[in-house]
C-alpha cells in the first residue's frame, strides 16, 4: 500500500488521519505548523512528537514535495521554477516580488484542455490534474526551497491549467493556504483565475471565500468564441451574471478582477474598449489589462504601447479601476506555459497557426 502524502492534507483530513492511528486530533495543528510554517518535512525532527508516534507515522505516511528541476532568476527579481511531478509531467510557477508584496503564480493542471488561442499552456494540450500536495507543494517550495527568499504574501492560480476544472484539489489546497496553522493567507490574498466555467463559479461561493478573477479577453461573443473557445458553451452575459452572483454571496464589498489580454489588432481597438465598458457597467470589478506575451508558433503580437494607453485611458475615463500588468521576467520566458513549452519544443513542436483568429 502506498504511503499517504500528508503535504496536501487539510486540517480536517489530518484530524481524521490522527484519530485513525489513535492519536488526539490536536496533532493536526502541530503537524500543519511543522510542515507549512517551519518548512520541516522530516518526522524525526518534529520535537513535540514522541518516538512511538513518529514510527507509527513513518509506517503509513510521508511528506514529499514535487521536484524543482530548474530555477531561472530574472534581472527584475522574478524567479521562475520548472517543477517535475512524479507522473513525469512538468509544470511551472513564478515568484514575482513587488515591494513588500511577493506573489506566487501557481499551476493547477499540467497543460490545459481549453485551447485559448493566445495561451502557450493551451497549445500543449491537457496532461493531468494536480493533486492537493502538488498544488500546496508549490507554495511550500516557494517559501522553503531557498530559505533566503522572503515568504510569499499572495497566491494567484494563474499558472498552467484551468483551476475550476480541478475543483476539489484547488479548494482543498486553498483551505490549507488560508489555515491559521499553515500559511494563514487572507481571502483577499488568494485569487482563483478562471476562463469562465459557470457551474463551477456557481458552486464556488459555498466552498471558499477566496478572490475571483475572470479571463474575459473579448467584449462580444463572436470574438470570445474564437479566442476563449469555452465561451461557446458559457457565453458572456450568463458568465457576468454568475460573477455578480458570486460577489453578492460574499457580501463583503469585494471586487472581481476582469483579465483582458491585449492582442494587436484582435481585441485592442477603441471600439473594443467601448463595448467592454458597456458590458461591465453593472459589475463591481477592476480591470487588469495584460499585454500579450508572444511565444513561438503563435502568430499574435503584443498590442502597440499607444493602443494599450488609449484602451486604458478610455476605461479610466469611464470610471473603472484599471491596471496594466507590467511584463515581468521577460528575459526568462515569464508568461504562463512558456518555459515548459520551450523545453518540450525539442520533442514536440506544435504549430497553432490553424487556431489563429482571422479578423
Which amino acids are annotated catalytic? 92, 336
Q: What is the DSSP string of 274-324?
A: HHHHHHTTTS-EEEEEEE----TT----BPPHHHHHHHHHHHHHTT-EEEE
Among 32, 35, 82, 114, binds ligand SF4 (CB under 6 A): 114
Residue 298 lies near ligand SF4 (rule: CB under 6 A):
no
Quote the least distance from Cβ 344 to ligand SAH, whole Å: 16
The full length of the chain comes to 359
**Separation CA 280–CA 220 (nearest Å):** 12
Among 35, 63, 104, 116, binds ligand SF4 (CB under 6 A): 116
Q: How are beta strands 154-157 and 79-84 bridged, if at all?
A: unpaired
Nearer to ligand SAH, 133 or 162 (CB): 162
Residue 339's binding partner, choosing from ligand SF4, ligand SAH, none, with beta-carbon cut-off 5 to 8 A by kind? Answer: none
Residue 122 lies near ligand SF4 (rule: CB under 6 A):
yes
CA dihedral 328, 204, 217, 131 (to 10 degrees): 50
**Separation CA 206–CA 200 (nearest Å):** 11
**Separation CA 143–CA 153 (nearest Å):** 10
**Separation CA 276–CA 150 (nearest Å):** 38
Nearer to ligand SF4, 181 or 341 (CB): 341
Residue 162 lies near ligand SF4 (rule: CB under 6 A):
yes
Contacts of 175 (CB under 8 A, 6+ apart): 10, 11, 208
Nearer to ligand SAH, 15 or 259 (CB): 259
Nearer to ligand SF4, 158 or 280 (CB): 158
Site for ligand SF4 in 170-229 (CB under 6 A): 195, 215
Nearer to ligand SF4, 32 or 197 (CB): 197
Q: Which residues bind ligand SAH (CB under 6 A)?
A: 118-120, 158, 162, 193-195, 215, 259, 261, 290, 292-293, 295, 335-336
Place of cell 504549430: 351
Residue 290's binding partner, choosing from ligand SAH, ligand SF4, none, with beta-carbon cut-off 5 to 8 A by kind? Answer: ligand SAH
**Whether the Cβ atoms of residue 106 and residue 159 lie closer than 8 Å to each other:** yes
Q: Which stretch binds ligand SF4 (CB under 6 A): 4-12, 93-101, 113-121, 174-182?
A: 113-121
What are residue 185's DSSP bridge partners? none
Q: Which residues bind ligand SF4 (CB under 6 A)?
A: 112, 114-116, 119, 121-122, 161-162, 195, 215
Amino acid at each position: 500500500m502506498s504511503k499517504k502524502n500528508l503535504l496536501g492534507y487539510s486540517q480536517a483530513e489530518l484530524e481524521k488521519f490522527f484519530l485513525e492511528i489513535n492519536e488526539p486530533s490536536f496533532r493536526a495543528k502541530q503537524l500543519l505548523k511543522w510542515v507549512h510554517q517551519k518548512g520541516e518535512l522530516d518526522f524525526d525532527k518534529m520535537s513535540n512528537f514522541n518516538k512511538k508516534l513518529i514510527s507509527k507515522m513513518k509506517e503509513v505516511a510521508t511528506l514529499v514535495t514535487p521536484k524543482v528541476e530548474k530555477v531561472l532568476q530574472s534581472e527584475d527579481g522574478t524567479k521562475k521554477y520548472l517543477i517535475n511531478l512524479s507522473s513525469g509531467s512538468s509544470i511551472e510557477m513564478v515568484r514575482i516580488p513587488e515591494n513588500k508584496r511577493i506573489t506566487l503564480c501557481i499551476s493547477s493542471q499540467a497543460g490545459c484542455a481549453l485551447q485559448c488561442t493566445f495561451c502557450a499552456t493551451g497549445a500543449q494540450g491537457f496532461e493531468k490534474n494536480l493533486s492537493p500536495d502538488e498544488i500546496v507543494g508549490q507554495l511550500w517550495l516557494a517559501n522553503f526551497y531557498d530559505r533566503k527568499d522572503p515568504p510569499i504574501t499572495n497566491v494567484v492560480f494563474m499558472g498552467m491549467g484551468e483551476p475550476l476544472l480541478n475543483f476539489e484539489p484547488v479548494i482543498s489546497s486553498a483551505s490549507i493556504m488560508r489555515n491559521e496553522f499553515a500559511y494563514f493567507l487572507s481571502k483577499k490574498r488568494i485569487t482563483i483565475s478562471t476562463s469562465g466555467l459557470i457551474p463551477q463559479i456557481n458552486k464556488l461561493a459555498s466552498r471558499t471565500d477566496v478572490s475571483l478573477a475572470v479571463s474575459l479577453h473579448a467584449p462580444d461573443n463572436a470574438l470570445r468564441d474564437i479566442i476563449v473557445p469555452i465561451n461557446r458553451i458559457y457565453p458572456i452575459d450568463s458568465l457576468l451574471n454568475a460573477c455578480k452572483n458570486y460577489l453578492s454571496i460574499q457580501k463583503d464589498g469585494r471586487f472581481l478582477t476582469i483579465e483582458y489580454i491585449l492582442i494587436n489588432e484582435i481585441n485592442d481597438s477603441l471600439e473594443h474598449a467601448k463595448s467592454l465598458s458597456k458590458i461591465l457597467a453593472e459589475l463591481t470589478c477592476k480591470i487588469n489589462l495584460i499585454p500579450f506575451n508572444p511565444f513561438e508558433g503563435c502568430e499574435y503580437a503584443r498590442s502597440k504601447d499607444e493602443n494599450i494607453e488609449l484602451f486604458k485611458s478610455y476605461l479610466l475615463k469611464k470610471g473603472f479601476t484599471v491596471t496594466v500588468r507590467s511584463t515581468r521576467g521577460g528575459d526568462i520566458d515569464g508568461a504562463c506555459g512558456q518555459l515548459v513549452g520551450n523545453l518540450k519544443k525539442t520533442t514536440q513542436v506544435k504549430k497553432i497557426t490553424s487556431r489563429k483568429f482571422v479578423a
